[in-house]
Amino acid sequence: MKSLHIYMLVFGLFIQTVASSQIQSVSLQASGLTCSMCSRAIYKSLKKLPSVSKVQEDIAHSSYHIQFKDAQKVSLADLKKAVLDAGFSVAWMEVKANFNNVEVASDSALQLDDFTFFFVDIQKQKLNGERKLLIVDKDYLLEKDRKKYAGTFESKAEVPDGDRIFHVTLPQS
């Protein structure tokens, strides 16, 4: 089951779009904390990652806006691990990128940098301008929020590669 997506990719069963844009930034909210000492632990843990250039924190909401030195070397799994290592969990993580007329639909795959994003629970549409992609995989979204999407993709396949392939949806903004 785990290799199903790779298999489907190889045989071209998914509509695959390669976007020319790069990941611009990542925002995340951490869960399980209220104190500024805890918040600072997460800040320090994110800041020490080699690919990260800047972390802007919103202590009141336990959220962090992360910019990168080199988008090619971004690891979303490392960002998640940084939050876990500080002792907390990821409530949500959003990837921001610029799009130019990129057509997406549920089950379509989007290639962005080295990442493959499979869309779930969206209408067929064209993405333009700056858009955020909300990751809906396990440990990247609170379980209670993830349940909304779980049924839409878990029966098809799990994430074959926890570092490069993700399921995403378009958050309502």
Partner 1 sequence: MKKFLQQGSLWVMFVFYFNGIGAQELFVFSEPASNMPAKSLGIRASNWLMYDNTNKTLNDQLIPELMWGVNKNLMLHLDGFFTNQGGNFHAVGAGTYAKYRIYSADAVNRHFRMAVYGRLSLNNSVIFQQEIDLTRNNTGYAFGLIATQLLHRQAISATIGFNQAFNNGSENKFPPGQSDQAINFSLSTGRLLLPREYINYKQTNLNLMLELSGQHLIGDNVNFLDLAPAVQFIFNSQTRLDIGYKFQLYSDMQRVTPNGFMIRVEHLLFNVF
Residues that bind partner 1 (CB under 8 A): 29, 31-37, 39-41, 43-45, 48, 57, 59-60, 62, 84-89, 91, 142, 144
| Residue owning tokens 């396949």 | 157
Residue closer to partner 1 by CB (options 109, 141) is 141
CB of 56 vs partner 1, minimal distance in Å:
11
Write out the E strands in the chain.
16-18, 23-31, 52-58, 63-68, 89-104, 109-112, 115-119, 125-135, 165-169
3-state secondary structure of 121: coil
Residue closer to partner 1 by CB (options 86, 104) is 86
Helices (H), the chain: 4-10, 36-47, 76-85, 143-153
CB of 63 vs partner 1, minimal distance in Å:
10
Residue closer to partner 1 by CB (options 48, 69) is 48
CB of 88 vs partner 1, minimal distance in Å:
6
